[in-house]
Amino acid sequence: MTPPFHLAIPVHDLAAARQFYGELIGCEEGRSSDHWVDFNFYGHQLVVHRRDEPAAPEIASAVDDKQVPIPHFGLVLSLDDWQPLADRLREAGVEFVIEPYVRFVGEPGEQATMFLRDPSGNAVEFKAFADSSQLFARG
């Protein structure tokens, strides 16, 4: 078994984070307080901590002619999970940083990917591989 990761991120509004991660993304809520909430992020522990300070400045990196936000975090899903999530996010009218698409087509590491922001501006990526052995493929 691969151990689950733990990630804590800042948010400015716990109710908005609950709506985004809980209702929209579909993560079950765990423990919480007036200042933080645990989410089951596909078997990993994502903790949102309420912070009033503005987020740190962000940079971007060019990947496949797109500007990928840095920092970002996310998950590698199966295509069977990725596509319904992409469809649900589109139907909900989510504004994507990078619309769902397949990058590196025909190359090692070909993957479906999408980037969006949570209500506090944290950049989140969801990706999937038709061939999971390509996760760490070298080009």
pLDDT digits (tens, 9 = 90+) for 39-70: 999 999 999 999 988 767 778 999 989 999 99
Where is pLDDT greater, at 58 or 28?
28
Q: Domains in the chain, start-ordered, CATH in brackets?
A: 6-50 (3.30.720.120), 59-134 (3.10.180.10)
What is the pLDDT at residue 118?
96
The Cα–Cα gap between 20 and 130 comes to 27
Question: Which band of pLDDT confidence, cut at 50, 70 and 90, is reported for residue 21?
Answer: very high
Q: Is the peptide bond before 100 cis (omega within 30 degrees of 0)?
A: no
- What tens digit of pLDDT does each residue of 82-108 get? 999 999 999 999 999 999 999 999 999
Q: What is the per-residue pLDDT for 78?
A: 95
pLDDT range class, residue 137, cuts 50, 70, 90 = confident
Report the predicted TM-score, pTM, of the whole model to 2 decimal places. 0.91
Give the single-character DSSP code of 103: E
Does the pLDDT of residue 2 top 90, yes or no? no
Chain segment 106-127, per-residue pLDDT in tens? 999 999 999 999 999 999 999 9
- Average pLDDT on 15-29 reads 97
Query: Is residue 125 within 8 Å of 73, Cβ to Cβ?
Result: yes
Which residue from 73, 77, 78, 69 is spatially nearest to 96, judged by alpha carbons? Answer: 69
